[in-house]
Amino acid sequence: MYKLINKVLTIFLGIIIVGLLLIYGLYSGYIRFNYPSLTEYPVQGIDVSHHQNEINWQQLDKERVRFIFIKATEGGDFKDKSFTINWQKARDQGFVVGAYHFFTFCKPGEKQAQNFIETVPKVVNMLPPVIDLEYGGNCQLTMDKSQVLAEITILIERLEAFYQKKPVLYVTQEFFDDFLEGQFEQNPLWIRNIYRTPALKGQRPWLFWQFANRGLLDGIDTVVDLNAFNGSKEEFETLIKN
């Protein structure tokens, strides 16, 4: 009887240890759910903000990091403190760069557009501006759906008019389902899904995929978001030149 109990306890303890190791591996970035290959997705990149601290741009693997989206602004007045230095150093190292704006529910679209335009220079061969649409870290939602869409529309139109590129919409699955299904279909999507390859309702295509939020790369001493472009190297070149 005691042998059976000891055996059960040993198995139970082993399961707990394996579970804890798995949790640690996922949290620390050593284990991911997605590992898109460079054969299937030859153009991959990252997105960064001040949360990545000081980046050693020379150490970044340019085979794995072909593009970088850099946080520029949030809401009507917040400017990421690391944007300017990240933008300059990434460009100096030859990376293709783009900037993103975190859309908030508590500021008008016009004011948010002005914040971004004041911060992000218009340069040749840059990626389209990105509007980050998600619930996490946002203001309390007090508007109805039509009001939210109206403010996003203003932001899209202002950024497209200034940068002459259709803004990319970064979305979580939840935000897409609640607001974007059937909306802004001319704007490319950048979808977050750290568990599997994205599949949106209505088979709507996506252009970028954030496949991990705790990636590990030489040159960055924190975890970082990993992304893939849904297309060939030639299609990527077309994107930045148009």
Catalytic machinery residues: 134
3-state secondary structure (DSSP) of residue 169: strand
Are 131 and 103 a contacting pair, CB within 8 Å? Answer: yes
- The H or E element that residue 69 is part of is strand 67-74
Cβ neighbours for 28, distance < 8 A, ≥ 6 positions apart? 214, 223
Taking the C-alpha atoms of residue 152 and residue 158, their distance in angstroms, rounded to an integer, is 10
Amino acid type, 101: H
How far apart are the C-alpha atoms of 27 and 153, rounded to whole Å? Answer: 36
Residues 6 or more apart from 116 whose CB is under 8 A from it? 72, 73, 99, 101, 129, 159
